[in-house]
Amino acid sequence: MPLYRITIGTPGEASHPDTLKAGLSEFISTFIFVFAGQGSGMAYSKLTYDAPGTPSGLIAASLSHAFALFVAVSIGANISGGHVNPAVTFASFIGGNISFLSAIVYWIGQLVGAVVACMLLEYATSMETAAFGLSTDVTIGNALVFEIVMTFGLVYTVYATAVDPKKGNIGIIAPLAIGLIVGANILVGGAFDGASMNPAVCFGPAVVSGIWTHHWVYWVGPFIGAAIAALIYDNIFIGEHDQLPVTDY
């Protein structure tokens, strides 16, 4: 990846109407995703009277997040690219497909969308949103590896199906593929650290619940995994002549 493609952005870009529309799109998509994903977990707790985690609960979480992300990516794809995840936005910046100033607008939309979703869930259910945390006997190192590897798989899928200019007709199934890899990863890591892969998904519950224990893991892990995936795919599988132009206002 040529370093010259990484850009801060031009003056006024953050306030450009198209950038603001993209940020609003990310807010709405992330709101829908977090409301459905976090809400399904709260509904499961209500139906099972706060029973400890079970295999059926893990499957329910996997399906709800996969379906919700499929929709969230689809409805945002034509406006913002449907990132729905600060780590995906970071990978797009690393790959030179979005400027840093635009990325900031995306991040604000994603984080605020997650917080609003959790606030409304608490109000509507009179239940507390559950902050992400490590399971018993899972160390910080274990959780970091899980988040790095799972986010690598997610972002690699994003690059292969949505970012690569050579994707052709495979781009049609990008939202489905992205939703499925997240659902699959939850089945793998959900019992260990919650399988976040998305800092916004953790940020919303942390803000509303006030619980920040090991919260940094859910930022550092996904950002590392996203950067590795972007660098590998961009340097090895996307030629310089295939690069997409960076948005420039």
Q: What is the DSSP letter of 163?
A: I
Q: Kindly report the CA angle at 5 between 4 and 7, in degrees rounded to 5?
A: 90
Distance, in Å, from the CA atom of 117 to the CA atom of 124, rounded to the nearest integer, reads 10
The whole-number average pLDDT for the span 192-216 is 96
Q: 215-227 pLDDT, tens per residue?
A: 999 999 999 999 9
Average pLDDT of the chain is: 91
Q: Do residues 202 and 132 make contact, with C-beta atoms less than 8 angstroms apart?
A: yes
The whole-number average pLDDT for the span 110-137 is 94
Structural domains of the chain, ranges and CATH numbers in brackets: 13-237 (1.20.1080.10)
pTM score of the predicted model: 0.92
